[in-house]
Chain A
Amino acid sequence: MSTQVPASDSAAVPGAGRNRPASRWVEPLLLLGPAGLWLVLLLVLPTLIILELSLVPGIKPGGIVNPVLTQFPNYAQIFDPIFVSVIGRSLLFAIGVTLICIVFGFPVAYWIAVMSPKQWRNLLLLGFILPLWTSSLLRSYAWITILRPTGVLNTVLKALRLPELDLLNTGILDFLKFLPNSAGWATPIIDSWVNLSLAVFIGMSYSLLPYMVLILYASLEKLDLRLLEAASDLGASPKQTFWKVTVPQTLPGIAAASLLVFITGLGDFVDPELLGGVSSMTAARLIYNQFLGATQNWGFGSALSMVLIMAVSVAIALLIKYGGDSAEV
């Protein structure tokens, strides 16, 4: 049972598109033209320039651009294990933060959209996205104040006679050392780059949660509650209703929100640097160093940028695959 709007006439009537008179193109052109032009000039063209720069070995600012198509030294450099770990770190942060935001954001959005009293909805939503009105840099600094050894968190824990935590220096895999017989295999994992900083996950999830909630709310608001009633009438348990009715209906919203959080998380280098301790180099910061650092290796920086763009393109492709279709029950 699809609740989508039926397909437009031009598909239902074959050949209609081909015979449109020229004047019918004026309206779409006028409406989409400015945005299209903006996209081409400010998105497509710069991306093509980055692509061109990435094909020139060792280009420096002011150098002559001579793209080479036979070998790709800028790209080959990326396969050096250090850089692989840097890109891996960025991807893991982005994916991890996206998952955390879905897990924490969906219940909040569901409650606001479906279960809270109607007259309070806008206020609740406003309250939740209020942090977005402050500078994101300030919010990251605030997390340092909360999580540092003599910070707010530990002051509260001390007052409650609980053990204090040093969350700024904890990795997400540190708990492995508490497992029995772990000394041999756990230590290399804890020391490797995969043991990402917990504080960064906290800081980044906090910053990106409002976006997740906002977009999920927009999707959940359109949820037809009668479908949920119908499902339970037909004998579905609440769990079955959730997974077989609610989630498929809101999948486009989940996909869109996840994409936004993923892309933003991938490009964030402020949180890893402020909260991530000594091993905090991310792909975004690496690119920054190539362009604005001492090496001025624009070719390598461009190649890295293209890799990030490709990662994002894969994410968008997944969005189209899982989020674009009309919901099927």
Chain B
Amino acid sequence: MRSGTSQSRSDQVGIYTWANYADETLIEGFTTQTGIRVLPQDKFPDNETMLARVLTGGGAAYSVISPSDYMVKKMMQSKLLQKLDHSRLNGLDTLLERYRSPDYDPDNRHSIPISWGTTGLIYNPEKLPDGPKDWSYLWDNKEKLSKKMTLLSDVREVMGATLRMLGYSYNSTSPKELEQAYNKLKELKPYVATFTTDTWQDQIVSGDLWLAMGYSIDAFSVISSQPNLKYVIPKSGTSLWTDTMVIPTSSPNISGAYAWLNYLLQPSIAAQYKRLNIASPNQAVLDQLSSDYRESPILFPPEALIKASEGIALVGDFSKVYDDFWTRLTSGS
């Protein structure tokens, strides 16, 4: 695997990120430009797996990690992140307004946002001509949608969407509100085909499913290959997620890490963002890209909807209550 000790070798950098955030072309571009090798990119399927690995010491090989918003806060609390020296980074001044000082990390002291997106409903307008406008569509049309719709396999997303529809927050810590959301979901459950984060993609294209709850980044790639499908963000608001890049305190190559961050902040590699279907939070990158990408309502929804949405935040010990409701929901009792 890795030869010798990779501690403080200045000519290589290890990255730990999501599956579709960096591929061969992107990495080769980096090596050509800086001469630093990227160790085989390690991927994680979700934030919690990444955190578990970093906590148990497995993160020591990585110079750059890509946690999501709420996870950045958690890692900050556990003192796992290095403070970023903004003078070593170029391009922070062209970040979109709302990313200059996000809730999860004021002033971007420990992280840089690299991509963002929403959660919404992807549907087949031929089967559902009166398309969904809000989460309540699922309940109002549950018989018609019986076993032809899926929800995400994520407790915070599913409970959050239901809470939102009932007028509460995605990050509610009120047992009464959660109980209400749970009962609403129990009502819907017999009509849901399954809870899944990615298997809906093939099935909505083949016609087995008419409606799926999914992330904007997946919707964008599915709709690119099947343009008759549509993506809609519910009116009552949805969850807004941001993925970032951070340098862990155990990073073996700090200058290499800064080189990687600067590489990704460059407007000139904007085309790579388009290829990877990532919505960039950087205005300079957006300016470089064609209008069909910039104006895609999937990747860049209107301000009004963004204002109605919220990010999923940590709820501390309350996550146990969420988890219990989720176990009950997926246990069929």
A289 on the interface (CB 8 Å rule)? Answer: yes
A144 closest partner in B (C-beta): B199
Q: What residues on B are CB-neighbors of A89 within 8 Å?
A: 331
Give chain B nearest CB distance to A287 CB in angstroms.
Answer: 12
A298 to B310, CA, bound (A): 30
Q: What residues on B are CB-neighbors of A277 within 8 Å?
A: 193-194
Q: What residues on A are CB-neighbors of B97 within 8 Å?
A: none
Query: Assuming A82-B331, A274-B199, is B208 touching A293 (CB within 8 A)?
Result: no
B328 closest partner in A (C-beta): A82
Q: What residues on B are CB-neighbors of A121 within 8 Å?
A: none
Question: Judging by beta carbons under 8 Å apart, are A279 and B208 in contact?
Answer: no
A169 in complex: contacting residue of B193, B327, B328, CB < 8 Å: B193
A81 on the interface (CB 8 Å rule)? Answer: yes
B207 on the interface (CB 8 Å rule)? Answer: yes
Give chain B nearest CB distance to A186 CB in angstroms.
Answer: 16
Question: Judging by beta carbons under 8 Å apart, are A150 and B208 in contact?
Answer: yes
A295 on the interface (CB 8 Å rule)? Answer: yes
Q: What residues on A are CB-neighbors of B192 within 8 Å?
A: 278
B292 on the interface (CB 8 Å rule)? Answer: no
A206 to B195, CA, bound (A): 23
A297 on the interface (CB 8 Å rule)? Answer: yes
B33 on the interface (CB 8 Å rule)? Answer: no
Query: Assuming A148-B203, A295-B320, is B331 touching A279 (CB within 8 A)?
Result: yes
A193 on the interface (CB 8 Å rule)? Answer: yes
Query: Assuming A169-B147, A294-B322, is B333 touching A85 (CB within 8 A)?
Result: yes
B49 on the interface (CB 8 Å rule)? Answer: yes
B 109-152 to A, binary, CB cutoff 8 A, 1 in contact else 0: 00000000000000000000000000000000000000100000
Question: Judging by beta carbons under 8 Å apart, are A279 and B193 in contact?
Answer: no
A325 on the interface (CB 8 Å rule)? Answer: no
A-B contact count (CB 8 A): 88
A86 on the interface (CB 8 Å rule)? Answer: yes
Q: What residues on B are CB-neighbors of A168 within 8 Å?
A: 193-194
A82 to B190, CA, bound (A): 18
B52 on the interface (CB 8 Å rule)? Answer: yes
Question: Judging by beta carbons under 8 Å apart, are B199 and A82 in contact?
Answer: no
A89 closest partner in B (C-beta): B331
A194 closest partner in B (C-beta): B332
Query: Assuming A62-B55, A169-B147, A291-B52, is B331 touching A193 (CB within 8 A)?
Result: yes
Give chain B nearest CB distance to A227 CB in angstroms.
Answer: 48
A169 to B193, CA, bound (A): 7
B48 in complex: contacting residue of A149, A192, A292, CB < 8 Å: A292
Chain B interface size band reads 35 or more
Question: Judging by beta carbons under 8 Å apart, are A85 and B55 in contact?
Answer: no
A101 on the interface (CB 8 Å rule)? Answer: no
Q: What residues on A are CB-neighbors of B332 within 8 Å?
A: 85, 191-193, 195, 278-279
Q: What residues on B are CB-neighbors of A85 within 8 Å?
A: 331-333
B290 on the interface (CB 8 Å rule)? Answer: no
B 321-333 to A, binary, CB cutoff 8 A, 1 in contact else 0: 0111001111111
Give chain A nearest CB distance to B150 CB in angstroms.
Answer: 9
Q: What residues on B are CB-neighbors of A276 within 8 Å?
A: 194
Binding site for B on A (CB under 8 A): 61-62, 81-83, 85-86, 89, 141, 144-145, 148-151, 166, 168-169, 191-193, 195, 273-274, 276-281, 286, 289, 291-295, 297
4 closest A-B pairs by CB = A279-B332, A281-B330, A294-B319, A193-B332
Binding site for A on B (CB under 8 A): 46, 48-49, 52, 55-56, 78, 147, 153, 155-156, 189-190, 192-196, 199, 202-203, 206-208, 319-320, 322-324, 327-333
- Give 6 CB contacts A-B under 8 Å: A81-B333, A145-B202, A148-B206, A292-B48, A294-B319, A297-B320
Other than A150-B207, A150-B208, give 19 A-B pairs with Cβ distance below 8 A: A61-B52, A81-B333, A86-B331, A141-B199, A144-B199, A144-B203, A151-B208, A166-B147, A169-B193, A192-B333, A193-B333, A276-B194, A277-B193, A277-B194, A280-B194, A280-B195, A281-B327, A293-B323, A294-B48
